[in-house]
Structure formats: structure tokens, C-alpha cells
Chain A
Amino acid sequence: MTRLTIGLCLVFALAGLSLFVGVTEIGPLDLLRGDVDAQQVQVLLASRVPRTLALVLAGASTAVAGMVMQMIVRNRFVEPSTAGTVESAMLGLLLITLFAPGLPLMAKMLVAAGFALAGTALFLRILRMVPLRDVLMVPLVGIMLGGVIGAVCTFIAYRWGLLASLGAWSMGDFSGVLRGRYELLWIAGALAVAAWFAADRLTLAAMGRDMSTNLGLNYRATVVIGLVIVSLVSATVLVSVGTIPFLGLIVPNIVSLRMGDNLRRAVPWVGITGAGFVLACDILGRTIREPYEIPIATMLGLIGSVVFLYLLLRTRHNAAA
């Protein structure tokens, strides 16, 4: 519990730092002394606070969604962006933008979530057609399925002049977060908490159908609950800030190395680590080349792919030993 507190403090410290990094100079001491003008307060409330909250919520929920996905697929190397989930959500968002652009954001998000659910279900179906389930085969199929759905998206976007929107969705970026434009992410945060409540069931489901049935768990229902959580989180994050690649893959793996996969213990850590990781990457991306920003998707793509490579090669090493 104490270590968890230290982790929480670290995230708070990063969040605090995130509040005071940016073009408009706002110092924490000035704020305490009340020595800030109206414009600074405006920047703080309309942009900095929402951005920081969005980072924490999106980071934590994306990481938790990755963990849930790994539990229900029973594979270490899947996450929403390596299973076709994100691309399916994008397809849904694209279609709704085309056919009903006037709908409220909430409705768009729900449509995207519906597509994400269908896409992930398709992924699981394809997996069932593969008799011998090599551990690495699963993410491979997922990435390719994502590629195919992505090609459909690109085609539609190209045909109807929406390539710019598609590009923005696939490139997670927090620079556009303002008050009134991020609040959906609270839903993602709530879902991460829901995952914690369902932690025991999800951990059981990860032990396989037979063992969870033996223990009296409704396996199918649990998988569906997990899929719904993953789809809703992916869609919400996609609609609010765009895709954050690899986060849901590397954070649960790192946490699992130290804590194991008993979700009741692991979920809080996954959430904290995810939030902290995204905060750190975003602060780095904002400061490294001021006044320009490097989007979070690029930062995470870079760090995430290196960590992914390490995980891949490490596993094989263990298996050989």
C-alpha cells in the first residue's frame, strides 16, 4: 500500500509539472501568491487543467484496457491497437462523420465503440480458426487485421476527402485538448474503475474456459464484459485525443513482470503507471522542441516499439532457457 502511495505521489508531481509547462509562463509560486493575471488564469483553466486531466484519464484507462484485453485473449502481446479494435473504431467514426456529422460527440463515440466491439469479436473469431495458437501468431493476425480495416478507412477517407481527420485520429495528440472537449474521457476513467471491480472475474477468465467454468464463472459473460470495457475505452480515447499506440501493451507487461497478473493487485498499478507514462511522454514532447510539440503518438511509438522489441526477444530467450 505504501508503494502505491509513492506511485500516486509521483503521478501527482508529474501532473503538477504538466500544469506549468507551456508557451504562457505560469509559475506555481505565482499561482499560490495569487500573482496571476486574468489571461493566465484563463489558460490554466481552459487548457492546462483539461490537458492534464485528459492525460491522466486517457493514460490510465488505455493501459487498463490493454491489460483487460490481454486477459480475455489470454495473450501477452495484444492490445487494442494490435487487435483491429482501434481501426474498427476509426471506421465507425469515419462512417458516422460521413452520414450523420451533426450527431453529438457522445453518440459518435457510441457508434465507434459498437464498431470496435464488432472488430474485436471478428478478431477473436479468426483466432478460433487458427488451430495451433502460437503465442506470436495472435498479435500478428491482429496487426494484419488492423491493417486491412485501416486500408478500408483510408479508402473511404480518400474518396470523401476526410484524410486529414483520419490522420488526426490515428495520431494521438493532446495539444488540442480544451475545456469542453475532453470530458468524455471521464467515462474511460470510470470504465477503468469498473475493470477493477470485475478484476477477479477477468483474472479467472484468463485461466481459460474450463478452469473458470469449474469455478462457477460464466465465462462468456465475462469475456463480453471485458470486450465492452475495451471497446468503450478505445472509442472514447480515439474520439477525444486520437490513438495512443503501444501504451496498453507495454504498461501491463512491465507491471506484470513485477506484480504478476492478479488483476485485483495489478489494475491500480497499471492505471498509475499508464497515467505517469503518458504524462512524462507528453511533458517531454512539449519541452524538447519548444514552441513546437511532438505528438504523444510519435513519442509512444518510439519508446513503445523499443520496449515491445525487448519484450519479444526476452520471451524467446526465456523459452529457450
Chain B
Amino acid sequence: MIVIENLTKRHGSTPCVDGVNLTIAAGGVTSIIGPNGAGKSSLLSLIARLMDKDSGRVQVDGLDIDTTRSEVLARRLSILRQDNHISSRLTVRDLVGFGRYPWSQGRLTAQDRAKVEEAIGFLHLEDLADRFLDELSGGQRQRAHISMVLCQDTDYVMLDEPLNNLDMKHARNMMRLIRRAADELGKTVVLVLHDINFASWYSDHIVAMKAGRIVHAAPVAEIMQPDVLSSIYDMEIEVQEMDGKRIGLFYA
């Protein structure tokens, strides 16, 4: 369980995360949605201690992120940000192997190696495992990064817009994979998503942000309502149901 109390972060004088209180239960997929500049990515980075907060508290399974050693936290919670440009030439297997760093400090044991192969297999990267990252396409590289994060084998996995730069097919496969990670591996996955329909189709919970504050946090069905969505995005959004899933329509 991740517990966030009164979390605030300012850029200059304007707060980008403004007094957020939120509890993310263990298990399942939680998506954070909201308009541009709502503070979604900042919230994720603050939880994962990539950004220093101004005030407030964050606890991951009872561990306060301020007082817990970074390497201990790295065995509980992993994060992948949007822009993961790596200028060094590493193979896919090297990269995924670094996911074991929090556990092995670089000296991979037989068990670590098994985990690496498992993570590579989970993302179907076997054929690419010995290729260098700069020889891969954008989608393949994204999969390699996700594989590294899974190999880190943390209970909590946070992904900041994992669908960026993916075409429709790859985006859908990525979301299926995230669903599998939650269902089969028992991970708690927290995502920042732009597409409300991907969020609706694949998540259990949705957290909606606006201007640095949480405006809604509830199971999917409660958020995917025309009036709720309209208030989040300041536009008319129609909601239809298909196969028990809710889809927002806002193209008209």
C-alpha cells in the first residue's frame, strides 16, 4: 500500500503538486489521468524519490521514502520515466541485468540470471537479447526498458506514459502486458496515461488530477461517467458501454 499525505511540490511559486492525499492499495492497475500540466508525472516522480518534495509524507508499505535507504526502496518500488535515452551502448541483456542491481550490486548469481531470462521471456525479447539498444526500434527499446523494470522484481511498478511513441498495435500489446504483470506476477502497477479509454479498459482504479490536486480517485466505473469526465477535462465527453467496459467518446 502506498500512502501519500499532504504532498506538495512547487516550481517557483506555482505548485505542480498541491497538498495531495492519496492511498494506492496493493494489487491491480491504477491509472493516473488528467489534462496536460495537472502534475501527474511529478506525482509519480515524487513517490519514487526521483524528485525532492517540498513537504508531505510518502510511505511505501510502511517505509517512509525520506528515511529508507535508497537501495532498500529499490527492492520495493521501481519507476520508468518517459524519456529514457541511454547514450552508452548496452545490450538488451545488459540492461535487463541491471534490473538486478538492487539485489546483487552487480554480481549476478545464478538466481539473478534466471530472473533476467524470465524477464526477457516475459517481454518476448529472446531474439533481441544480445543486440545493442541503439540498434533497436523505439517500440523494442521500450519493451527492453519495461523488461528491466520487471526484472527489478519490485512489488510496486510505476510507469510514466508507457504508451508514448508506440503505434496502436504496440500500445495495445503493452497494456495487455501490464495487465498480465498485475494478474500473473501480482504486481501493483501505477501508470500515467493520456488515453482515458486505455485507462478504462485495462485499469482497476483511476486517479484523476487537475491543477496539482486529486479531483477523483475511485474504481473505473465511477470515473467513467460523462459528468465526472467533463469536469476533469472541461469538455463534453459521452460514455458508452461495450462488453462491460466503458469507452469515452469525445471526437464529435
Contacts and interface: CB of A to CB of B under 8 A. Distances in A.
A and B touch in the complex (CB under 8 A): yes
Interface of A: 70-71, 74-76, 135, 199-201, 203-204, 206-211, 213-218, 256-257, 260-262, 264
B74 A215 contact: yes
Given A203-B98, A213-B50, A215-B98, A261 B89 contact: yes
Nearest to B79: A214
Nearest to B106: A200
A200 B79 CA distance: 20
A217 B70 CA distance: 7
Interface residues of B, number: 33
In this complex, the member of A135, A210, A215, A217 whose beta carbon has the largest number of chain B beta carbons within 10 angstroms is A215
Interface string B29-72: 00000000000000001001110000000000000000001111
Contacts of A71: 88
Contacts of B85: 208
B107 to A, nearest CB: 8
Contact of A210 (B50, B69, B87, B94): B50
Nearest to B145: A211
25 contacts: A74-B88, A200-B101, A206-B87, A208-B85, A210-B81, A211-B81, A211-B84, A211-B86, A213-B48, A213-B49, A214-B74, A214-B79, A214-B152, A215-B74, A215-B101, A215-B152, A217-B70, A217-B71, A256-B88, A256-B89, A260-B89, A260-B90, A260-B94, A261-B90, A264-B106
B161 to A, nearest CB: 14
B94 A262 contact: yes
A56 to B, nearest CB: 26
A293 B101 CA distance: 49
Q: DSSP class of B's interface residues: helix, strand, loop or mixed? A: loop
Contacts of A264: 106
Nearest to B72: A216
B78 interface: yes
Contacts of A208: 84-86
A204 B98 contact: yes
Nearest to B78: A214
B132 A260 contact: yes
Nearest to B133: A260
B73 A262 contact: no
10 closest residue pairs by CB, A with B: A216-B74, A200-B106, A216-B71, A261-B88, A260-B89, A216-B102, A206-B88, A262-B94, A261-B89, A215-B101
